[in-house]
Structure 1
Amino acid sequence: MGTENRPAAIGPVHTTWARPAHTALPVTWALTRAAMLLLLALDETFPLGVGGVAREVHQLYARWAATLAQGTFPVGDPLWQYPPGAGPVLLAPDLLPGLTYFQGFVAMTLAADALVTYALVRGDRDPRGAWLWTAGLPLLLHIPLARYDVEVTALAVLALLTLHRAPRAAGGLAALGALVKVWPALVLLGVERGRTARQAWGAALGAAAAMLLVLTLAFRAPFSFLREQGGRGVQIESLGGTVLAGARMLGRPGRVRYRYGAMEFLGPQVGVVATASLALTAVAFGVLLWWRVRARRYSAATPYDAALCAVLMFTVTSRVISPQYLVWLLGLGAVCLTSRQTTQRPVALLVLAAAGVSALAYPVLYADVTGGTGTGLAVMVVRNALLLAAAVLSFRRLWAATAAKERESPLTGQSTQTTNI
C-alpha cells in the first residue's frame, strides 16, 4: 500500500519519527560527543584509569604522518602493521589548515562519526540503527576519538547502505576500507548471488587494484607492513590472552610486555595459544564459506547480518582484540538495526554490552588487566564471553534465516524451518 493511502497519524517510518528525531538524535549526538571530547582533553591531566589514550595519535600517528609526508611508508617500524590505504588517512590531518595534527585528527574523526549517523538515519531506515551508534559509541569513552577506526567503519557502513542502490559504489567503498584496515572486505560476503554480487565484487577488485597502483606510485615501500605481522603474539585482551591470564593466576609461568603496539603475553604456552587462534580463524573462514555455499534465502538485511557475523567471528578468534574493534561491531550492528528484516537484534545488544565492559578493561581497569589481578581477569572474562556469545548467536540466527532446511507443515501446508532459535 502506498504512503498516500495511509492515515496521516501513521505514515512511513521517517515521518512518524521525524519530529522527535530531528531534535532528540542531534542533541544526543552533540551532548555525548562533547562529553567524549572533555574526556579526551582531560586524558593526561585527570587520567581515567591508566590514561594516555591520546598518546597513540600524538606519538605514533603524528610520527608516521611525518614519514608519509616524505613519500615513504614506515620501514623497519614494528608498530606499523597497517595496509597501505591507512597512509593517506593518517596523512590527512596534516592537510587541514589552521589545526595541529591532533586537532585535525579529532576533527576528521568527528566528521566521519557525523557522516555515519546521518547515513544511518536518512530515508525510511529504522531509527534504532542510528540510536545504537549514537548512544553506543560513547560507551567506549574517548577511545574512538583517538583511533582511526571510526573512519574505517564509516567506509564499511556506507558500503553496506549503498549496496542495494549502487552495488558498484558499494564495492569501491568496501575495497577502500579493506585497503585501510582489511576487515571491511567482509562486508560483501552476504551479497546475494547474481548480478548484484558480480557488480559489487567486480568493482571491489577493480578499485582495489587501481588504488594499490596509485599508492605504489605515490609512496615507497607500501607493503612494508607485511613483514611485521608474523611476529605478533597474543594480546592480553584477546580470548587466548584471557586463557593465559587464567593460567597465570593458577601458577603457570608467564609475563606481559609491550610489543607491536599492544600488551602481549610472553611465556612457554604463548606459541600454542597463538597457533590455536590462527587455526580457529581458519575454521571461522571455512564456516563462513560453508554458509555462503548453503545460503538460499536472502532478504534486504542479509548482507548486513552476514557482515556483522563475519567480523564477529574473525574478532573473537583473533590474537588481538583491541577496544577500538568494538567501534567496527557497533557500526555493523547499527546497520543491521536499520532494517526490520534483520536477524541480529539480540546480537547488537550483546555488542552494546561488550562495548560498555570494554571501557572498564581499557582504560578504567587496565592496570588490573595487565597486572593479572582477579578483578582484571573477571572483566576480561565477561567482555570476551559477551563477544563469543554474540558470535555464536549471530551465526545461528544467520544460518536459520538463510540456510537451514525448510519442511512443509502438515497442518498449514506452509514451509517451516527445521532449525529453531
Structure 2
Amino acid sequence: MTATGGTGRFLAPVAVWALTRAALLLCVFKVVTLPGPDVTSDVSVIYHGWSEVLRTGTYPLGDVTWQYPPVAALAILSPALLPFLDYASAFFVLACLCDALVLGLLLYAGRGTGRRTAGGWVWVAGVPLLGTTAYARYDVMVTAVGVAALLAGVRHPRVLGALAAFGALLKVWPVLLLAGTARGESTRRSWTAAVVTAAGLLVVCTVAMPGALAFLGFQRDRGTEVESLGALVFHVARQFGWQGRVELNYGSLEFLGPHVQLVSTLALGLSLVAFGWLVMWRLLARDFGVSTPADAAFTAVLLFTTTSRVISPQYMLWLVGLAAVCLAFRSSRMGLPAVLVLVATGVTQLEFPLGFVHVVTSDAQGVTLMFVRNGLLVAATLVASRRLWKETVPAPVRRDRHRLSVQPSGPAGQVSRDGTADTPASAP
C-alpha cells in the first residue's frame, strides 16, 4: 500500500467525523432545532443540579433519579474543567472531545497486521445515528473508557482491569469488559487489577462524601421502562384495553399498572439466564484469540442491555463503541451483529427523540418502532452469542455437552481441541 493510500484510509473517517460532529454540535447548541423533546435539558437542568449538590460535598441523597455509581460524580463535575463556558456548553464540548478520543484510539488500533479501520467507521457512523442524545448524556465518556480498556488490554491486562473497574464505578456495565480475558496470567492480572482499583476507589468515594452507595437502592426500585423489551407486552396490551398508564418514575417514563411487576420480574429472570449462559461460556471456552475479549464484551453487554428492564437511548452508545472495537480486528466475526446494532441505533433516534410521543401513547407508529428496534437488538444478541460460542468453544466440547445431556451417566470430563482432558470446573 502506498503512503498516500495509507494516509487516505485515516483521513476519510476523520473528515466524515468532523462533518457529522459539526452537525451534532449545531443541534445541541440549538443553532438547528430538531422535532421532539429537548434532550439537552437533562444536561442544563438535571446534571447541572446534581453538580451543585456534589460541590457541597455530598451525593444527591434525596434524589431518586441519582442512580449512578460514585465515580459518576467526576463526569457530572467535569464541566468545571472549562470555567470560561456555562455548564451545558462545557459538557457538550467535553462530550465531543471524548468522541474524538474514541475515534483516535480506534484508528490507532486499526494499523498493522490483522487490524483494520472498519472499527473507526463504525464509530463515525454510530454516534450521529443516535443523534443529539449522544452528546446530552455522559455515556460517551464511559464508552471512551471502555474502548480504551479493551484496546489497551491486548498488551496490558492490568490496564484493562484498572480501566474496567474505573468504568464500572462510572456506570456499572464496563465490568463486563473482563468477561473475555484469556485464561491464565491475563485473567489473573486483569481481574486482580480490577478488584484492587475498585476497592480503592470505593474507599475514597465513601470517605470523601456521604451517600456513595445510595444509587443501589434507587436502581433496585426501577420498573419497566417504555422502551424496554418487556414493555412490548404493554404496548400491545394497550390495544386491547389494558388498564395501565405511563408515568415518570425514578427518572424515566415507565409502565405502571396491572402485571407490570410480573413483567419486571421476568426481565430480571432473563438477565439471570443471560448471566448463566455467560458463565457457562466462560467455563467451556478454550480458544481465546486477539479479538476474543472485545467479542465477549460486546456479546455480554448485548445480553444485559437487551434483557434489561430499562433500555435508554444512550445505551446504544455502549454497543456502538464495543462493536467498533470488535471490527478493529480482522479476526472478529461480529460484523453482522455490529451492522444490526448500527441499524438499531438509527431506529432509536426515530423513536427518541423524534417519535417519542408515538412511543408513549403506544400508537401504531410507536409500537412498530419499538418492535423493530428491540427486534434488531434481540437478533444481534442471538447472532453474537452463537458466533462467540462457535469461535471459542471447541467442537469436541460442544459434542460432549450434547452427548452428556442425552446420557447423564457419561464421563464428567470434557476434551479440549488439543486432546487433553479438562473439566469446566477448572476454568476461571
Considering only aligned residues, what root-mean-square deviation do their CA atoms show, in Å?
1.6
* SS class of match (2:153): coil
Tell me which of 7, 10, 15 is aligned to 1:27. 15
Alignment TM-score, normalising by the size of structure 2: 0.90
1:239-254 alignment to 2 at 5 Å?
Answer: 239-254=229-244
**Which residue number corresponds to residue 170 of structure 2?**
180
SS of 1:156's equivalent in the other structure is helix
Match of residue 355, structure 2, among 365, 369, 378: 365
Q: Partner of 1:260 in structure 2?
A: 250
Instruction: Please tell me whether the aligned partners of residues 76 and 224 of structure 1 are also in contact (alpha carbons under 8 angstroms).
Output: no
Kindly indicate whether the alpha-carbon contact (under 8 Å) linking 1:73 and 1:221 is maintained by their aligned counterparts in 2.
yes
SS of the aligned residue for 1:258 comes to strand
Counterpart CA distance in 2 for 1:323 and 1:308 is 17
In 2, are the aligned partners of 1:307 and 1:332 still within 8 Å (CA)? Answer: yes
Match of 2:268 among 254, 278, 284: 278
The residue type paired with residue 51 of structure 1 is P
| TM-score, normalised relative to structure 1 | 0.91
Please, which runs of 5 or more residues in structure 2 have no aligned partner? 398-416, 418-428
Whole-angstrom distance in 2 between the partners of 1:289 and 1:343:
21
Q: SS of the residue aligned with 1:106?
A: helix
**Which amino acid counterpart does residue 188 of structure 2 have in structure 1?**
R
What SS does the aligned partner of 1:190 have?
Answer: coil
Q: Which amino acid aligns with 1:70?
A: T
Look up the match of 2:52. 66
Counterpart among 383, 389, 407 of residue 379 in structure 2: 389
| 1:269 has 2:256 as partner | no
Contact in 2 for aligned 1:156/1:173 (Cα 8 Å): yes
Query: Could you tell me which amino acid in structure 2 is paired with residue 46 of structure 1?
Result: T
Cα pair distance change 1:17/1:327, threshold 3 Å: farther
Q: How does 1:3-42 map to 2 (within 5 A)?
A: 18-42=6-30
Aligned residues of 2:287 and 2:394 also touching (Cα < 8 A): no
Residues 323-382 of structure 1, C-alpha deviations (whole Å, 9 max, x = no match)? 100000000000000001102110000000000000011011101000110110000000
| TM-aligned CA distance change 1:334 to 1:16, over 3 Å | farther
Residue in structure 1 matched with residue 367 of structure 2 by the alignment: 377
The alpha-carbon deviation at position 19 of structure 1 amounts to 2.2
Q: Which amino acid aligns with 2:161?
A: G
The aligned residue for residue 403 of structure 2 is: none
The DSSP-based 3-state class of the residue aligned with 2:329 is: coil
CA distance in 1, matches of 2:219, 2:199: 22
CA distance in 2, matches of 1:91, 1:17: 42
In structure 2, the residue matched to 1:46 is 33
Counterpart secondary structure, 1:275:
helix
How many residues of Structure 1 are paired with residues of Structure 2 in the alignment?
Answer: 395
- Number of the residue aligned with 2:95: 109
Conservation of the 8 A alpha-carbon contact between 1:255 and 1:267:
yes
**1:202, distance to aligned residue in structure 2 (A):** 0.4
Shift of the alpha carbon at 1:253? 1.7
Secondary structure at the counterpart of residue 125 of structure 2:
helix
Unaligned runs of 5+ in 1: 1-7, 10-14, 408-414, 416-421
Would you say 1:161 and 2:148 are equivalent positions? no
Distance 2:98 2:33 in 1: 27
Do 2:10 and 2:117's aligned partners in 1 also have CA atoms closer than 8 Å?
Answer: no
| SS of alignment partner, residue 99 of structure 1 | coil
* Cα distance in 2 between the residues matched to 1:194 and 1:22: 36
SS in 1 for 2:230: helix
- Which residue in the other structure is 1:217 paired with? 207
What's 1:237 paired with?
Answer: 227
- Cα distance between partner residues in 2 of 1:320 and 1:17: 44
Does the CA-based 8 Å contact 2:47-2:76 persist in structure 1?
A: yes
What one-letter code is carried by the residue in structure 2 that aligns with 1:351?
Answer: V
Counterpart residue number, 2:83:
97
Q: Please give the residue correspondences for 1:76-95 in structure 2 after superposition, counting only pairs within 5 Å.
A: 76-95=62-81
Cα distance between partner residues in 1 of 2:89 and 2:333: 39
1:17 Cα offset (Å):
5.2
Deviation sequence 1:281-324 (CA, Å, 0-9, x none):
01100110000000011110111100000000000110000010
SS in 2 for 1:265: strand
- Equivalent pair of 2:29/2:89 in contact (CA under 8 Å): no
Contact 1:65 1:94 in 2 (8 A): no
